[in-house]
Structure 1
Amino acid sequence: MSDPKPTALADPVLLGVVGGAHGIKGEVRIRSFTADPTDIGAYGPLTDAKGNRYTIRSARVQKNVVVAAIAEVRDRNHAERLNGTELFVDRSVLPDEGEDGAFYQADLIGLSAVSVSGEAIGTVIAIHDFGAGDVVEIRPERGPTVMIPFSEAAVPEIDVEAGTMTVEPVAAGLSGAVGDQAEEAAGLAEPGDPQSDGPEPEAR
Protein backbone atom coordinates (compact mmCIF):
# COMPACT_ATOMS: atom_id res chain seq x y z
CA MET A 1 0.00 0.00 0.00
CA SER A 2 1.42 3.41 -0.97
CA ASP A 3 1.78 6.21 1.56
CA PRO A 4 -1.10 8.69 1.58
CA LYS A 5 -0.40 11.94 -0.24
CA PRO A 6 0.34 14.89 2.05
CA THR A 7 -2.45 17.41 2.31
CA ALA A 8 -2.07 21.20 2.39
CA LEU A 9 -2.11 22.81 5.80
CA ALA A 10 -5.11 25.00 6.59
CA ASP A 11 -3.15 27.45 8.77
CA PRO A 12 0.59 26.78 8.47
CA VAL A 13 3.04 28.02 11.09
CA LEU A 14 6.75 28.04 10.28
CA LEU A 15 8.69 26.07 12.91
CA GLY A 16 12.11 25.86 11.31
CA VAL A 17 14.36 26.04 8.27
CA VAL A 18 16.80 23.33 7.20
CA GLY A 19 20.32 24.72 6.99
CA GLY A 20 22.12 21.79 5.41
CA ALA A 21 23.44 18.27 5.99
CA HIS A 22 25.28 17.16 9.12
CA GLY A 23 27.54 14.14 8.98
CA ILE A 24 27.12 11.20 6.63
CA LYS A 25 24.01 9.47 8.06
CA GLY A 26 21.39 11.90 6.77
CA GLU A 27 21.09 14.21 9.75
CA VAL A 28 20.31 17.87 9.04
CA ARG A 29 20.94 21.19 10.73
CA ILE A 30 17.72 23.11 11.44
CA ARG A 31 17.24 26.69 12.58
CA SER A 32 14.37 26.14 15.00
CA PHE A 33 11.82 28.83 15.89
CA THR A 34 10.27 26.97 18.83
CA ALA A 35 10.86 28.27 22.39
CA ASP A 36 12.77 25.08 23.17
CA PRO A 37 14.68 24.43 19.93
CA THR A 38 14.43 20.65 20.37
CA ASP A 39 10.62 20.90 20.29
CA ILE A 40 10.87 21.25 16.50
CA GLY A 41 9.39 17.74 16.21
CA ALA A 42 7.13 17.78 19.26
CA TYR A 43 3.92 18.56 17.38
CA GLY A 44 3.93 15.75 14.85
CA PRO A 45 5.27 15.49 11.30
CA LEU A 46 6.47 18.70 9.64
CA THR A 47 5.44 19.69 6.13
CA ASP A 48 7.32 21.65 3.48
CA ALA A 49 5.82 24.04 0.93
CA LYS A 50 5.36 21.18 -1.56
CA GLY A 51 3.42 19.07 0.92
CA ASN A 52 6.23 16.61 1.71
CA ARG A 53 6.20 15.34 5.29
CA TYR A 54 9.17 14.98 7.64
CA THR A 55 9.10 13.10 10.95
CA ILE A 56 11.75 14.14 13.48
CA ARG A 57 13.17 11.02 15.17
CA SER A 58 15.68 12.84 17.38
CA ALA A 59 16.93 16.38 17.91
CA ARG A 60 19.81 17.89 19.85
CA VAL A 61 21.15 21.42 20.15
CA GLN A 62 24.57 22.15 18.69
CA LYS A 63 25.72 25.76 18.90
CA ASN A 64 22.95 27.91 17.31
CA VAL A 65 21.08 25.12 15.52
CA VAL A 66 19.33 21.81 16.09
CA VAL A 67 20.85 18.67 14.62
CA ALA A 68 17.96 16.38 13.74
CA ALA A 69 17.48 12.89 12.40
CA ILE A 70 14.46 12.69 10.07
CA ALA A 71 12.79 9.35 9.42
CA GLU A 72 12.25 10.11 5.73
CA VAL A 73 15.89 11.17 5.16
CA ARG A 74 18.29 8.24 5.02
CA ASP A 75 21.51 9.61 3.50
CA ARG A 76 23.62 12.74 3.15
CA ASN A 77 22.64 13.32 -0.48
CA HIS A 78 18.97 13.62 0.47
CA ALA A 79 19.89 15.82 3.46
CA GLU A 80 21.86 18.17 1.21
CA ARG A 81 18.89 18.59 -1.12
CA LEU A 82 16.82 19.90 1.79
CA ASN A 83 19.05 22.95 2.33
CA GLY A 84 16.78 25.99 2.74
CA THR A 85 13.58 23.94 3.13
CA GLU A 86 11.01 25.60 5.39
CA LEU A 87 9.19 23.28 7.79
CA PHE A 88 5.60 23.93 8.90
CA VAL A 89 2.87 22.50 11.09
CA ASP A 90 -0.78 23.43 11.18
CA ARG A 91 -1.62 25.92 13.93
CA SER A 92 -4.33 23.57 15.19
CA VAL A 93 -1.71 21.16 16.62
CA LEU A 94 0.05 23.88 18.62
CA PRO A 95 -0.89 24.86 22.20
CA ASP A 96 -3.24 27.81 22.59
CA GLU A 97 -1.29 31.09 22.84
CA GLY A 98 -3.51 32.06 25.78
CA GLU A 99 -4.05 35.74 26.46
CA ASP A 100 -5.14 38.23 23.81
CA GLY A 101 -2.30 39.65 21.79
CA ALA A 102 -0.09 36.61 22.41
CA PHE A 103 1.74 35.08 19.47
CA TYR A 104 4.24 32.45 18.49
CA GLN A 105 7.75 33.58 17.64
CA ALA A 106 7.20 31.95 14.26
CA ASP A 107 4.48 34.56 13.62
CA LEU A 108 7.16 37.26 13.66
CA ILE A 109 9.05 35.91 10.66
CA GLY A 110 8.21 38.05 7.65
CA LEU A 111 6.91 41.06 9.62
CA SER A 112 7.93 44.52 8.39
CA ALA A 113 10.13 46.26 10.96
CA VAL A 114 9.46 50.00 11.20
CA SER A 115 10.77 52.64 13.57
CA VAL A 116 8.50 54.43 16.05
CA SER A 117 8.52 57.39 13.63
CA GLY A 118 7.39 55.21 10.72
CA GLU A 119 10.70 54.75 8.88
CA ALA A 120 11.16 51.36 7.21
CA ILE A 121 13.96 49.27 8.72
CA GLY A 122 13.58 45.91 6.97
CA THR A 123 12.00 42.47 7.25
CA VAL A 124 12.22 40.12 10.22
CA ILE A 125 13.93 36.93 9.05
CA ALA A 126 14.78 35.09 12.29
CA ILE A 127 14.62 35.00 16.07
CA HIS A 128 17.81 33.77 17.75
CA ASP A 129 18.71 32.75 21.28
CA PHE A 130 22.46 32.93 21.85
CA GLY A 131 22.11 32.42 25.60
CA ALA A 132 21.64 36.03 26.70
CA GLY A 133 18.04 36.58 25.62
CA ASP A 134 16.21 36.48 22.31
CA VAL A 135 17.58 38.52 19.41
CA VAL A 136 15.65 39.60 16.29
CA GLU A 137 17.46 39.44 12.94
CA ILE A 138 16.25 42.00 10.39
CA ARG A 139 17.15 42.19 6.71
CA PRO A 140 17.15 45.79 5.38
CA GLU A 141 16.64 46.60 1.70
CA ARG A 142 20.38 47.21 1.38
CA GLY A 143 23.40 45.98 3.25
CA PRO A 144 23.91 43.21 5.80
CA THR A 145 21.31 41.99 8.28
CA VAL A 146 21.11 43.64 11.69
CA MET A 147 20.47 42.15 15.13
CA ILE A 148 18.39 43.86 17.82
CA PRO A 149 17.40 42.70 21.32
CA PHE A 150 13.90 41.28 21.54
CA SER A 151 12.95 43.38 24.55
CA GLU A 152 9.99 45.62 25.35
CA ALA A 153 12.26 48.68 25.16
CA ALA A 154 13.63 47.81 21.71
CA VAL A 155 10.38 46.34 20.35
CA PRO A 156 7.54 48.28 22.00
CA GLU A 157 4.77 47.03 19.71
CA ILE A 158 3.99 44.01 17.54
CA ASP A 159 0.91 43.84 15.33
CA VAL A 160 0.84 40.42 13.70
CA GLU A 161 -2.46 41.13 11.93
CA ALA A 162 -1.06 44.31 10.40
CA GLY A 163 2.24 42.58 9.65
CA THR A 164 4.42 45.09 11.50
CA MET A 165 6.98 45.17 14.30
CA THR A 166 7.66 48.60 15.77
CA VAL A 167 11.27 49.22 16.78
CA GLU A 168 12.67 51.93 19.05
CA PRO A 169 15.97 52.67 17.24
CA VAL A 170 17.88 54.07 20.24
CA ALA A 171 17.02 51.13 22.52
CA ALA A 172 17.71 48.73 19.63
CA GLY A 173 21.09 50.33 18.86
CA LEU A 174 19.98 51.35 15.36
CA SER A 175 19.49 55.11 15.68
CA GLY A 176 22.31 56.06 13.29
CA ALA A 177 21.56 53.30 10.79
CA VAL A 178 17.87 54.16 10.55
CA GLY A 179 18.62 57.84 10.05
CA ASP A 180 21.15 57.12 7.31
CA GLN A 181 18.72 54.80 5.50
CA ALA A 182 15.95 57.40 5.65
CA GLU A 183 18.19 60.13 4.21
CA GLU A 184 19.44 57.80 1.48
CA ALA A 185 15.87 56.85 0.53
CA ALA A 186 14.97 60.55 0.35
CA GLY A 187 17.98 61.27 -1.87
CA LEU A 188 19.60 63.54 0.70
CA ALA A 189 22.79 61.56 1.01
CA GLU A 190 24.74 59.13 -1.11
CA PRO A 191 25.44 55.72 0.44
CA GLY A 192 28.73 55.85 2.29
CA ASP A 193 29.30 59.59 1.73
CA PRO A 194 30.22 61.61 4.82
CA GLN A 195 27.81 64.28 5.93
CA SER A 196 28.88 67.88 5.54
CA ASP A 197 29.14 69.88 8.72
CA GLY A 198 28.52 73.16 6.90
CA PRO A 199 30.52 75.56 4.71
CA GLU A 200 34.26 75.66 5.16
CA PRO A 201 35.61 78.85 6.71
CA GLU A 202 37.04 81.37 4.25
CA ALA A 203 40.82 81.56 4.03
CA ARG A 204 42.31 84.72 5.45
Structure 2
Amino acid sequence: MAAPICVARIGAAHGVRGAVKLWPFTEDPLAVMDYGPLTTKDGARQFEVTHARPAKDHLVATLKGVATREDAERLNGIELYVAREKLPATDEDEYYHADLIGLAAVNAANEPIGRVLAIHNFGAGDIIEIAPPSGPTLLLPFTNAVVPTVDLAGGRVVIELPQEIEGDDVPTIT
Protein backbone atom coordinates (compact mmCIF):
# COMPACT_ATOMS: atom_id res chain seq x y z
CA MET A 1 0.00 0.00 0.00
CA ALA A 2 1.34 3.41 -1.00
CA ALA A 3 2.19 6.00 1.61
CA PRO A 4 -0.53 8.60 2.20
CA ILE A 5 -0.20 11.94 0.40
CA CYS A 6 -0.26 15.26 2.27
CA VAL A 7 -2.99 17.42 0.67
CA ALA A 8 -3.34 20.26 3.20
CA ARG A 9 -2.15 21.79 6.47
CA ILE A 10 -4.42 23.30 9.08
CA GLY A 11 -3.44 26.83 10.03
CA ALA A 12 -4.64 29.30 12.64
CA ALA A 13 -8.19 29.56 13.89
CA HIS A 14 -10.47 31.89 11.92
CA GLY A 15 -13.25 33.61 13.82
CA VAL A 16 -14.98 32.34 16.95
CA ARG A 17 -17.07 29.43 15.61
CA GLY A 18 -14.33 26.86 15.01
CA ALA A 19 -13.31 27.68 11.45
CA VAL A 20 -9.67 27.27 10.48
CA LYS A 21 -7.34 28.58 7.83
CA LEU A 22 -6.56 25.64 5.57
CA TRP A 23 -3.50 25.62 3.30
CA PRO A 24 -4.21 23.15 0.48
CA PHE A 25 -1.42 21.57 -1.58
CA THR A 26 -3.70 20.50 -4.41
CA GLU A 27 -3.81 22.03 -7.88
CA ASP A 28 -7.46 22.96 -7.27
CA PRO A 29 -7.59 24.26 -3.67
CA LEU A 30 -11.21 23.12 -3.17
CA ALA A 31 -10.30 19.54 -4.18
CA VAL A 32 -9.58 18.81 -0.51
CA MET A 33 -13.35 18.43 -0.14
CA ASP A 34 -13.49 15.71 -2.84
CA TYR A 35 -11.40 13.04 -1.11
CA GLY A 36 -13.66 12.26 1.84
CA PRO A 37 -12.28 12.26 5.36
CA LEU A 38 -8.65 13.34 5.68
CA THR A 39 -6.33 11.84 8.25
CA THR A 40 -3.12 12.58 10.08
CA LYS A 41 -0.07 10.80 8.60
CA ASP A 42 -0.31 7.99 11.14
CA GLY A 43 -4.06 7.64 10.56
CA ALA A 44 -4.82 8.18 14.25
CA ARG A 45 -7.08 11.21 13.70
CA GLN A 46 -9.63 11.90 11.00
CA PHE A 47 -11.06 15.22 9.80
CA GLU A 48 -13.95 15.96 7.47
CA VAL A 49 -14.06 19.33 5.70
CA THR A 50 -17.75 20.28 5.76
CA HIS A 51 -17.42 23.73 4.20
CA ALA A 52 -14.64 25.71 2.59
CA ARG A 53 -14.38 29.04 0.86
CA PRO A 54 -11.42 30.67 -0.84
CA ALA A 55 -9.59 33.45 0.98
CA LYS A 56 -6.53 35.44 -0.13
CA ASP A 57 -3.99 32.59 -0.34
CA HIS A 58 -5.72 29.83 1.63
CA LEU A 59 -9.17 28.44 2.40
CA VAL A 60 -11.37 29.21 5.36
CA ALA A 61 -12.73 25.81 6.32
CA THR A 62 -15.12 24.25 8.78
CA LEU A 63 -14.24 20.80 10.09
CA LYS A 64 -16.85 18.38 11.40
CA GLY A 65 -16.86 18.38 15.22
CA VAL A 66 -14.83 21.59 15.57
CA ALA A 67 -17.23 24.17 17.01
CA THR A 68 -15.17 26.65 19.02
CA ARG A 69 -12.14 28.82 18.47
CA GLU A 70 -10.33 26.90 21.21
CA ASP A 71 -10.96 23.59 19.38
CA ALA A 72 -9.66 25.15 16.15
CA GLU A 73 -6.55 26.58 17.84
CA ARG A 74 -5.52 23.10 19.01
CA LEU A 75 -5.39 21.90 15.38
CA ASN A 76 -2.93 24.52 14.11
CA GLY A 77 -0.10 22.87 12.17
CA ILE A 78 -1.70 19.45 11.64
CA GLU A 79 -1.04 18.07 8.18
CA LEU A 80 -3.90 16.27 6.45
CA TYR A 81 -3.37 13.19 4.31
CA VAL A 82 -5.33 11.07 1.86
CA ALA A 83 -4.69 7.59 0.48
CA ARG A 84 -2.76 7.77 -2.82
CA GLU A 85 -5.44 5.77 -4.63
CA LYS A 86 -8.06 8.47 -3.91
CA LEU A 87 -6.15 11.04 -5.97
CA PRO A 88 -6.99 11.47 -9.65
CA ALA A 89 -4.77 9.98 -12.32
CA THR A 90 -2.10 12.28 -13.71
CA ASP A 91 -1.70 13.35 -17.32
CA GLU A 92 1.32 12.36 -19.40
CA ASP A 93 4.45 14.18 -18.17
CA GLU A 94 2.64 15.08 -14.93
CA TYR A 95 3.64 13.49 -11.62
CA TYR A 96 2.82 13.61 -7.95
CA HIS A 97 5.85 14.61 -5.88
CA ALA A 98 5.35 11.52 -3.73
CA ASP A 99 5.70 9.28 -6.80
CA LEU A 100 9.11 10.78 -7.60
CA ILE A 101 10.68 10.92 -4.14
CA GLY A 102 12.94 7.94 -3.56
CA LEU A 103 13.44 7.08 -7.23
CA ALA A 104 16.97 6.25 -8.37
CA ALA A 105 18.63 9.04 -10.35
CA VAL A 106 20.87 7.78 -13.15
CA ASN A 107 22.67 9.35 -16.10
CA ALA A 108 22.02 8.45 -19.77
CA ALA A 109 24.49 5.53 -19.46
CA ASN A 110 22.38 4.20 -16.54
CA GLU A 111 25.18 4.99 -14.06
CA PRO A 112 23.92 5.94 -10.59
CA ILE A 113 23.90 9.60 -9.58
CA GLY A 114 21.85 9.28 -6.39
CA ARG A 115 18.21 9.31 -5.27
CA VAL A 116 15.43 11.85 -5.64
CA LEU A 117 15.20 13.52 -2.26
CA ALA A 118 12.54 16.17 -2.93
CA ILE A 119 10.80 18.36 -5.48
CA HIS A 120 10.77 22.07 -4.69
CA ASN A 121 9.16 25.11 -6.23
CA PHE A 122 10.38 28.49 -5.02
CA GLY A 123 8.30 30.36 -7.60
CA ALA A 124 10.35 29.98 -10.78
CA GLY A 125 9.51 26.38 -11.66
CA ASP A 126 10.01 22.93 -10.22
CA ILE A 127 13.45 21.90 -8.95
CA ILE A 128 14.47 18.29 -8.40
CA GLU A 129 16.80 17.61 -5.47
CA ILE A 130 19.11 14.64 -5.91
CA ALA A 131 21.03 13.14 -2.97
CA PRO A 132 24.27 11.58 -4.25
CA PRO A 133 25.97 8.79 -2.26
CA SER A 134 28.33 11.42 -0.82
CA GLY A 135 28.67 15.16 -0.96
CA PRO A 136 26.09 17.92 -1.15
CA THR A 137 22.72 17.45 -2.80
CA LEU A 138 22.16 18.57 -6.37
CA LEU A 139 19.39 21.07 -7.15
CA LEU A 140 18.46 20.90 -10.82
CA PRO A 141 15.61 22.31 -12.90
CA PHE A 142 12.86 19.72 -13.34
CA THR A 143 12.61 20.19 -17.10
CA ASN A 144 12.53 17.77 -20.03
CA ALA A 145 16.08 18.86 -20.93
CA VAL A 146 17.52 17.95 -17.51
CA VAL A 147 15.11 15.09 -16.68
CA PRO A 148 14.28 13.59 -20.09
CA THR A 149 12.97 10.30 -18.68
CA VAL A 150 10.78 9.52 -15.69
CA ASP A 151 10.32 5.75 -15.41
CA LEU A 152 7.98 5.19 -12.48
CA ALA A 153 7.61 1.46 -13.22
CA GLY A 154 11.40 1.09 -13.38
CA GLY A 155 11.90 3.21 -10.27
CA ARG A 156 14.25 5.73 -11.87
CA VAL A 157 14.71 9.13 -13.45
CA VAL A 158 17.34 9.86 -16.08
CA ILE A 159 19.30 13.04 -15.40
CA GLU A 160 21.20 14.95 -18.08
CA LEU A 161 23.57 17.05 -15.99
CA PRO A 162 24.08 20.51 -17.50
CA GLN A 163 27.57 20.99 -18.94
CA GLU A 164 27.81 24.48 -17.52
CA ILE A 165 25.65 26.77 -15.48
CA GLU A 166 25.35 30.34 -16.63
CA GLY A 167 25.61 33.12 -14.11
CA ASP A 168 28.12 34.77 -11.87
CA ASP A 169 31.34 33.03 -10.95
CA VAL A 170 31.12 31.31 -7.62
CA PRO A 171 33.07 33.31 -5.04
CA THR A 172 35.88 31.65 -3.16
CA ILE A 173 35.42 31.51 0.58
CA THR A 174 38.62 31.64 2.59
TM-score (norm 1): 0.53
- The Cα shift of 1:123 comes to 0.6
Between Structure 1 and Structure 2, the one with more helix by share is 1
Give the equivalent residue in structure 2 for 1:169: 161
Report whether the alignment pairs 1:87 with 2:61: no
Amino acid at match of 1:87: Y
The unaligned stretches of length 5 or more in structure 2 are 166-171
CA contact (8 A) 1:154 1:169 kept: yes
How many residues align? The count is 156
Per-residue CA shift, 1:11-37, capped at 9, x if unaligned? 5551425274365554244351x3334
- The alignment status of 1:58 with 2:52, answered yes or no, reads yes
Normalising by structure 2, what TM-score? 0.59
| Structure 1: 5+ residue stretches without partners | 1-9, 174-191, 195-204
Shift of 1:156: 1.3
Aligned to 1:3: none
- For the 8 Å contact 1:28–1:69, the answer to whether it is kept is yes
SS of the equivalent of 2:145 reads coil
Does residue 150 (structure 1) correspond to residue 142 (structure 2)? The answer is: yes
Counterparts of 2:130 and 2:8 in 1: how far apart (Å)? 16
SS at 1:170 equivalent: coil
Q: In structure 1, what residue type is equivalent to 2:129?
A: I
Calculate the aligned-residue CA RMSD, in Å.
Answer: 4.2
CA distance in 2, matches of 1:145, 1:16: 26
Judged with a 3 Å threshold, the aligned counterparts in structure 2 of structure 1 residues 113 and 137 are, in CA distance, closer, same or farther, namely: same
Q: Aligned with 1:158: secondary structure?
A: strand
Q: Percent identity?
A: 17
Kept after mapping to 1: 8 A contact 2:102/2:115: no
Alignment of 1:27-106 (within 5 A): 27-30=20-23, 32=25, 34-51=26-43, 52-56=45-49, 57-58=51-52, 60=54, 62-63=56-57, 66-72=58-64, 73-74=66-67, 75=69, 76-80=72-76, 82=78, 85-91=79-85, 93-97=86-90, 104-106=95-97
Per-residue deviation at 1:71? Answer: 1.0
User: Counterpart amino acid of 1:36?
Assistant: D
Structure 1 counterpart of 2:127, one-letter code: V
Q: Secondary structure at the match of 2:101?
A: coil
